[in-house]
Amino acid sequence: MFSPLSIIPAAGEGIHVAEGGLLLYHIDYRETLPDTLKSTETGWLTGISLGYEYFGISNPVMATVHMDYTYSHTKYDGTTQTGTPITTTTHNYILDIEATLGFIALRPSFSPLLLIPYIGFGYRHWYRGLVNNNSYYEVYSWYYLPIGCRGEYILTPVITVGLDISYWKMMGGKIKVALSRLDSGYNDPESDLGNKYGYKIKTPVKYRFRPRWNLIVEPWYEYFKIGRGETFDITYNGSLWGRGYEPPSRTCQYGITVAVQYIF
């Protein structure tokens, strides 16, 4: 992501940017349990990225909306509740939607540096399903509040480099466990997750290859934690069978986004 203010004449109310690109990133999910009980999820994922950005010319406002969608497989390495090792493959569908509103504190008409602190609101949906027949799946979802600052420095008339750092607080975390996929007699329990935090660091490089077209190459790193979920009842044909909970976990992700942007 970037601001095109460095290449468009400061005229009119504002400028608009449409963006589309591809994601490639590595995920490392680990539950914070003893080795005999915890599970891990690792692998490379691919996806698409779409976005819209507005930058004020006659006002110091930035507004953005972005969506990332991933559909890929990862390696699952874990154990059953009795300690039996399991190694298999997992389907992952991840949807992340985020909107931000920022204040343009510095703009290139005064210096080669653009600086925009911002705040926002986001939603993440993560489906994890083992590919084996008669296996269950889990669906995580939560809202979050990102607070961050993004900057851009003009190296040449056509190349800029940037840095975007944000911290976010998780809210309303929930999990659904579809145990009925194992056997229709089981229920599909749901419970709240422990709301924790995360952060993301992005370092975009922008190249203007046409007057209103830009190529963006953006390496990034993200880290977030999920707290222990509430205990839920597991029933079989309506009778209590047992209880479970989602253990605390941490996830590290790093990758690259390659996108094109059109300014209008």
- pLDDT per residue over 235-250, tens digit each? 999 999 999 999 999 9
Q: Residue 90: which domain range?
A: 4-263
Contact 126, 92 (CB under 8 A): yes
How high is the pLDDT of residue 36? 55
DSSP state of 227: B
CA separation for the pair 244, 229 (Å, rounded): 9
Per-residue model confidence (pLDDT) at position 111: 73
Stated length of the chain = 264
pLDDT in tens, 126-141: 999 887 756 789 999 9
Over residues 24-47, mean pLDDT: 86
Number of domains in the chain: 1
Q: Is the pLDDT of residue 108 over 80?
A: no
Give the CATH number for residue 234.
Answer: 2.40.128.100
Query: CB neighbours (10 Å) of residue 74?
Result: 20
Whole-model pTM: value is 0.88
Burial letters for 172-188: b for 16+ Cβ neighbours within 10 Å, e otherwise?
ebbbbbbbebeeeebbe
pLDDT confidence bin for 221, thresholds 50/70/90: very high
Instruction: State yes or no: pLDDT of 251 exceeds 90.
Output: yes
What pLDDT does residue 9 have?
A: 45
Q: Say yes or no to pLDDT of 84 above 80.
A: no
Tokens of 177: 């466990």
Task: List all residues 6 or more positions away from 200 whose beta carbon is below 8 Å from its beta carbon.
Answer: 146, 148, 164, 165, 166, 168, 220, 221, 222, 223
pLDDT at res. 133: 57
Residues ≥6 apart with Cβ < 8 Å to 173: 140, 141, 142, 192, 193, 194, 195, 226, 227, 229
Per the prediction, the chain carries an average pLDDT of 90
Comparing C-alpha atoms, which of 115, 74, 80, 79 is closest to residue 92? Answer: 74
Interval 170-208: pLDDT, tens: 999 999 999 998 889 999 999 999 999 999 999 999 999
pLDDT at 10: 44
- The fraction of the chain above a pLDDT of 90, given in percent, is 76
In this predicted structure, what is the pLDDT of residue 79? 67
Overall average pLDDT of the 46-75 stretch: 95
Residue 83 binned pLDDT confidence (cut-offs 50, 70, 90) = low
> Could you report the per-residue pLDDT of 9-23, keeping only the tens digit for each?
444 578 999 999 999
